[in-house]
């Protein structure tokens, strides 16, 4: 595996610079309109366009398991794990289930590109929940924002996202140097060994699925701090 140094911007939560490894696919994913299921774990899809990594939002149930982003994490709040790819279980996934038109090429064409390996699902995940909690409790402005928004215990933190990118783009940053998410994170620049530069971008529509954690509080409402983050599994409370 090849290692890279990441500096990410606001779209995906804005990460501290850290060294990560780019991993190959480790499982097959079954995709439906509501979920991406990998090794028995279901990742939500409804509201995925709002699910910026590290952001907080409200989980809206009503049978939809939707997510409504309320605030984006401040810059340099957390680190990420090694990005990982996953293969789609095409025998049990239809193009209508995926329902994504990558860069406007159409749903069917996007599905065919995935089958041909031209498009890949890549997972980005918060590296250490305890570090996220500690950093949040130290950042009083961010902590106040979360306190104000969490009125009924429905507030969640996005701790993982699955993003659709082209296989060519994935291979370019897997084989080259530094990856930087600049500005709002829409564009990533890849510094190759010879000093040349490759670029790729993703929009909110290419965030396919996400995982969220529930916030466990400690203390009185106005002065409470976060005690822990607990995975909010599909079917949980």
Tens of pLDDT, residues 10-43: 333 333 322 334 444 456 888 998 999 988 899 9
Alpha-carbon gap, residue 142 to 64, rounded angstroms: 28
- Residue 175 is predicted with a pLDDT of 52
Q: What is the pLDDT of residue 27?
A: 66
CA distance 43 to 33: 11
In this prediction, residue 1 carries a pLDDT of 36
Secondary structure (3-state) at 142? helix
Mean pLDDT of 191-201: 52
Residues of the chain above pLDDT 90, percent? 26
Find all residues with CB under 8 Å of 86, minimum gap 6, and list them. Answer: 25, 26, 27, 28, 29, 38, 121, 123, 162
Which residues fall within 8 angstroms of residue 234, CB to CB, at 6 or more apart?
35, 42, 44, 65
pLDDT bin (cut points 50, 70, 90) of residue 216 is very high
- Of 68, 74, 84, 66, give the one whose Cα is nearest residue 163: 84
What does the pLDDT look like over 164-177, one tens digit per residue?
887 776 666 555 44
Q: Is the pTM of this model over 0.85?
A: no
**75-130 tens-digit pLDDT:** 778 877 767 788 888 888 888 888 888 878 888 988 888 888 888 888 888 889 99
**Would residue 153 be called left, alpha or beta, if left means φ above 0 and alpha means ψ between -120 and 50 degrees?**
left
Residue 145 has pLDDT above 50, yes or no: yes
Q: Is the model more confident about 185 or about 217?
A: 217
pLDDT at 226: 96
**Helix, strand and coil in the chain, % to nearest 5:** 25, 40, 35
In this structure, are residues 208 and 36 in contact, taking their beta carbons and an 8 Å threshold? Answer: yes
Residue-level pLDDT at 188: 46
Residue 212: per-residue pLDDT = 95
Higher-confidence position of 199 and 214? 214
Does residue 47 surpass a pLDDT of 50?
yes
| Phi, psi (deg, nearest 5) at residue 130 | -65, -35
């Amino acid at each position: 595996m090849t290692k890279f140094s990441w500096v990410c911007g606001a779209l995906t939560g804005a990460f501290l610079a850290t060294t990560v490894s780019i991993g190959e696919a480790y499982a097959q994913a079954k995709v439906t309109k509501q979920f991406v299921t990998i090794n028995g774990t279901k990742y939500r899809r409804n509201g995925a366009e709002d699910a910026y990594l590290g952001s907080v939002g409200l989980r809206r149930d009503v049978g939809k398991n939707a997510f409504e982003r309320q605030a984006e994490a401040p810059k340099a709040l957390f680190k990420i794990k090694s990005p990982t790819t996953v293969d789609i279980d095409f025998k049990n996934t239809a193009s209508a289930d995926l329902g994504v038109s990558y860069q406007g090429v159409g749903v069917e064409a996007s599905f065919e590109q995935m089958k041909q390996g031209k498009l890949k699902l890549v997972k980005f995940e918060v590296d250490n929940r305890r570090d996220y909690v500690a950093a949040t409790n130290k950042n009083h402005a961010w902590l106040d924002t979360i306190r104000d928004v969490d009125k009924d215990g429905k507030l969640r933190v996005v701790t993982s996202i699955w993003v659709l990118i082209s296989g060519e783009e994935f291979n370019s940053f897997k084989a080259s140097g530094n990856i930087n998410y600049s500005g709002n994170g829409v564009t990533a620049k890849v510094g190759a060994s010879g000093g040349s530069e490759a670029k790729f971008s993703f929009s909110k529509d290419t965030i396919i699925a996400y995982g969220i954690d529930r916030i466990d509080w400690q203390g009185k409402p106005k002065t409470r701090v976060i005690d822990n983050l607990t995975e909010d599994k599909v079917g949980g409370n």
